[in-house]
Structure 1
């Protein structure tokens, strides 16, 4: 009925609906407890299975007693929480790009979402996790392999099981990046440094965390007083 109108020139109002989800201290502790319980249950189950097999003369499964990590899940979580790496960056990481002597790892251009090379320093938790995992997997090409030369594709099921055990809701694996960045900002790290660590190409993406450091704004206006 109407041949034309000017409403297509009206710009829709843009709302900032970005949700920054990170773990509070209670949730962090709950996740650590869930990992510990999972480890204990796996060790007990493996011991029971080997006792059953030994009694029947079957070959035994490798013992899980005395090793730090029962599988790849815990070191992946530690790396995510302490480096802010994307899931794809973690799963595609190769040992040749991990320098344990200098305590730094490199995200190559082909594995980076921004297609930019970046280096991430390893804090004590990340360094210890990678060092212990390397000792358990001395000959692998990828840091986290499902088979020789083939990296894991996902950790979704095991990750969701841990969250359920820890009673943590509305938290995705990607939120570990928010967790990493939020903790840095709340400790006073400047936003540009956080941007570089996360691999953001634009500071606008990192500004979502600015509200977590209101004391910086207070310090700024107090300079006038």
Structure 2
């Protein structure tokens, strides 16, 4: 890799690669007390290191050599141990429950946040560091096709960083709340695509030979339940007498009742008998198989990052609510059936209702 001097005396950098992207590693050069040239590595551009900081370190070293003692700035820094992001993150994750979202956050922390901030004193973070981190995330590539992180993924990582910093401030690890400098992408990722009745029938037909997948699809499309709620259904959650199903909503941290159709009630009863269910209906997570069927049937020509049109399991919840609206179900009833905390989440389906203005438009003669 190339070696380059800078406009600042004694500060140079070498071209390097970090996570597949071009980077700079800064060094300083100076003469020691024996007049020998010394070269010290300071750090990478991607870690927030800049020429001015390198120059400051070089000047402090030269000053120490000249006067025979460390300048107050260096002495103070040495007395104070560097506070790493790791110390705050370890404490933060210790108080979180061991859930799938926690595992995802830990993975994002280790792959991105820890890598970038590992050698940076968190107490000295500033807006420049935060902006550099955001650009660093935008330039990361993965896979053989050099795909970049989706904006939603970057937002998730930035939000996790904000949460860790706020945790550090709240618990007296740090005083400077730099989370205010984090800027998120403005994303319109609301899913618009939902399955038609014909597509729903195709989905059932394609999964009918796998009683686990078939039942999960049936529950999702007849109750609007999220996959996490479905996978946590227990035998005693089903009230066959009143044809009710108790669902756990992990997003809203609540439980709610879903109505069972006669067909779904019978399917559940047969499944419990045939599988000798004692407790949980589903002992494993068949998410990959569920996704594979959806991809095969509906996503052949859809871009991987097209969240609006790609059919995923959550699209079944969207399908449930959309068809309720199309059938004229009152918006507040849809809110109750979806267990939405805020009516604003449900209002997106109002445009599908038969009384939403379709008749007025059809009466136009131009």
TM-score range, shorter chain: 0.5 to 0.7
Q: 1:33 to 1:168 in 2, by over 3 A?
A: farther
Note if contact 1:78-1:125 (Cα within 8 Å) is conserved in structure 2: no
1:208 is aligned, of 336, 345, 348, to 348
Note if contact 1:103-1:121 (Cα within 8 Å) is conserved in structure 2: yes
Note if contact 2:328-2:354 (Cα within 8 Å) is conserved in structure 1: no
Q: What's 1:46 paired with?
A: none
2:279 is aligned, of 141, 156, 165, to 141
- What CA RMSD, in Å, does the superposition of the two structures yield over aligned residues? 2.8
Q: Give the TM-score normalised by structure 2.
A: 0.42
Which structure: larger Rg?
A: 2
Q: 1:71 to 1:105 in 2, by over 3 A?
A: same
SS in 1 for 2:254: coil
Q: How many residues align?
A: 170
Q: Greater RCO between the two (CA within 8 Å, min separation 6)?
A: 1
Q: Which protein is richer in strand relative to its size? A: 2
Q: Give the TM-score normalised by structure 1.
A: 0.66
Supply the distance in 2 between the matched residues of 1:89 and 1:17 (Cα, whole angstroms).
22
1:161 is aligned, of 282, 292, 303, to 292
1:167-178 equivalences under 5 Å are: 167-169=298-300, 170-178=310-318
Q: What's 1:192 paired with?
A: 332
1:12-91 equivalences under 5 Å are: 17-36=189-208, 39=209, 70-91=210-231
| Unmatched segments (≥5 aa) in structure 2 | 1-183, 301-309, 361-366
Q: 1:75 to 1:215 in 2, by over 3 A?
A: same
Q: 1:218 to 1:159 in 2, by over 3 A?
A: closer
Note if contact 2:224-2:317 (Cα within 8 Å) is conserved in structure 1: yes
CA-CA distance at 1:189 after TM superposition: 0.5
Q: Does 1:122 align with 2:122?
A: no
